[in-house]
Amino acid sequence: MRATLFLLSSVLLGTSPAWAGPEGLERAKARFEKEPKVAEVVDVALRYFRVHPEVMDELRSKSHTRAFLPLLATGFRFDDDRYARVETQRPDPNLNIDESTNTRQNAISVGAVWDLRELVFNPAEVQIYGRVVTVLRRL
């Protein structure tokens, strides 16, 4: 890559590269032999972004075991019911009805739901592969 850029800049600037001869080409090749291989760079990048195969396999297995965990739902309800009624009927006999209630209730609910469909297909796997594709596009 560097050699290509150097050659391109020398052509554009009208100068000849210093390694134009056979011995210069050998020096350039020797210089690039010290550079890491593409596979090594990709492996280091995948490990840096934590998307190498071991981590991906671990994420996939965790996404499947997540199906065994229930979804928990809890609730709390407080009712304060106050009711008052006064009724008077006339004429004779006077009938007075006085009715009042004051009730308070507390209710707690707890529930668990298992979605075993995720054992067959877990949408989290799609997210995992999406993460891999995003990282690979950055490379």
- For residue 74, the model assigns a pLDDT of 94
- For residue 106, the model assigns a pLDDT of 92
- For residue 109, the model assigns a pLDDT of 94
pLDDT in tens, 53-91: 777 778 777 777 877 888 899 999 998 888 888 887 777
Amino acid identity for residue 127 in this structure: Q
Tokens representing residue 89 in the block: 């009927």
Grouped pLDDT means (10 residues each) for the chain, 139 residues = 57 51 75 82 79 75 80 91 80 76 90 84 75 70
- For residue 82, the model assigns a pLDDT of 84
- For residue 72, the model assigns a pLDDT of 92
Q: What percent of the chain has pLDDT over 70?
A: 80
CA 65 to chain centre: 17
- For residue 10, the model assigns a pLDDT of 57
Which residues have CB under 8 Å from 2's CB, separation 6+? 32
In whole angstroms, what is the distance from residue 60 CA to residue 125 CA?
6
